[in-house]
Structure formats: C-alpha cells, structure tokens
Amino acid sequence: MKITSFIGLLIIFLSFTSCIEIIDDISIKNDGSGTLKYTVNLSSSKIKINSILALDSLEGKAVPSIEEIEERIISFKKKLEGKPGMSNVSLDYNFTDYIFKLQCDFTNVMALQTALKEVIQEESKEKNIPELEQTWLSWDGTKMVRSIPEITVKKTKDFKQEDIELMKQGNYTSISRFERMVDKFDNTSATLSKNKMAVMIRTNPYALTQNSTILENTIYLSPIKN
C-alpha cells in the first residue's frame, strides 16, 4: 500500500530527494486486525533536504519550515487517532536524519483503509481525489489482495530527469506479515521469508510511480489449524 498522499507535505522532498527509502509493513492477524508500519527514510539526502529547508521558496513553491512540517505530522496523527477502528497510533520523526515512522493498530483492513482515505482527504486541498475511491487492501481470512493507488504516477510526470534518475536509486519495500504460513502468492517479484510467514517485494520509488501494479499481489494463506 503506497500512501504518498499521507505524507503529502513531504512530496516537495520526494521530488528533490536522491535516495529515498520507504518501508511499508503490514501485519495481519487471523481475525483480520493488525498493525501498519510505514517508514520514510531520507537520511541519505540530509544535505539536500537541509539546503532546501534553508530556502524560502523553491521553483515558485513555498518551502515549509520544520515547525510547519511537524505541525502537519501531528495534525495527521491526531486525525488518524480519531478514526473508528484505529488505535495505538504513533508517529516518530527526527529532523536530524529525516526518518519518519508511522505505526498504528487497526481492527480490520477496511477500517484502516477508510481511516487513511478520510485523513488524506481532510489533509488534501483537492476536493475530489478519484484515486482514493480505489480499494488497496482486502482480506477474507484466507487471502489478502494488495495494490496501490495510481495517485503517484500523476505527481511524477512533472519531475525533472535528474530527479527521476535519483529516485531510481531509492528503495521501496513492501512487507506483508501473517500469523500463519503463506501457501502461495501471485507476484513473481515477491520473496517469502524463511519462516514462511512474511512476503516481501522490493522495488524503487520511481518504478513504483510509473507502474502501480508492481506491488499488486494476492497472498494465499494455509488453512488455520484447529
């Protein structure tokens, strides 16, 4: 699940950032509840980010101050906490290494999706975001279907060539964890952990923005043992 819009205010960084690393880690229990961890690591572009933050504006867009970014992060967290089915929301960030970590528990994947969509919509200036109508996650107790919205493809059309090259050097890691073993999965790029309870797909942010199906996967689980 790609929630670039969730970190909407970081988009200014994404377009100027060399090696961005994103980890999207979801754990689902047998009852459908679970935990989402979403990590954005910009530590390899500290100088660049600091130099951008030192500016008032860049290419006609106002550069937010650290305080403003912090304010938006806190606002996002508060909004997410208030959504039904969400609990233990934590958002860690440090402006030394530029690492941002979101973690939250959810009662079911629909609650998670709805909460994220609502918060993104509330935070966004755009009234209608058609991509938010898509379903990114579904879980029926035996299989999980994952995809990402196409929202990022549009954003990257304006990127400069050198930024695109730099984005290609980044990493996007998507991990799905379960309480029981994985039987099989559709995406041939995915790998299974040795304990067979987690599936990982790794790509780079640019490939992801150009082809939102890269992370599409249907993961089938082994039956629950009584």
The footprint of other proteins (CB under 8 A) covers 16, 18-19, 21, 23, 39, 41, 43-48, 50-52, 54, 58-60, 96-97, 99, 162, 173, 175, 177, 193-195, 197-198, 200
Half-sphere exposure of 206 (CA within 13 A, CB side): 19
Q: Which of residues 121 and 187 has its CB atom nearest to other proteins in the complex?
A: 187
Nearest-approach distance from CB 131 to other proteins, in angstroms = 28
Measured between alpha carbons, how far is 156 from 97 in angstroms, rounded to an integer? 24
Q: Which of residues 79 and 180 has its CB atom nearest to other proteins in the complex?
A: 180
Q: Which of residues 188 and 195 has its CB atom nearest to other proteins in the complex?
A: 195
Q: Which of residues 4 and 45 has its CB atom nearest to other proteins in the complex?
A: 45
CB 119 within 8 A of CB 80: yes
Measured between alpha carbons, how far is 17 from 11 in angstroms, rounded to an integer? 10
- Chain-centre distance for alpha carbon 183: 25
Q: Phi then psi for 202, rounded to 5 degrees?
A: -120, 135
Measured between alpha carbons, how far is 214 from 139 in angstroms, rounded to an integer? 19
Nearest-approach distance from CB 9 to other proteins, in angstroms = 19
Nearest-approach distance from CB 140 to other proteins, in angstroms = 23
Measured between alpha carbons, how far is 3 from 23 in angstroms, rounded to an integer? 11
Q: Which of residues 65 and 124 has its CB atom nearest to other proteins in the complex?
A: 65
Nearest-approach distance from CB 76 to other proteins, in angstroms = 22
Measured between alpha carbons, how far is 104 from 91 in angstroms, rounded to an integer? 9
Nearest-approach distance from CB 165 to other proteins, in angstroms = 12
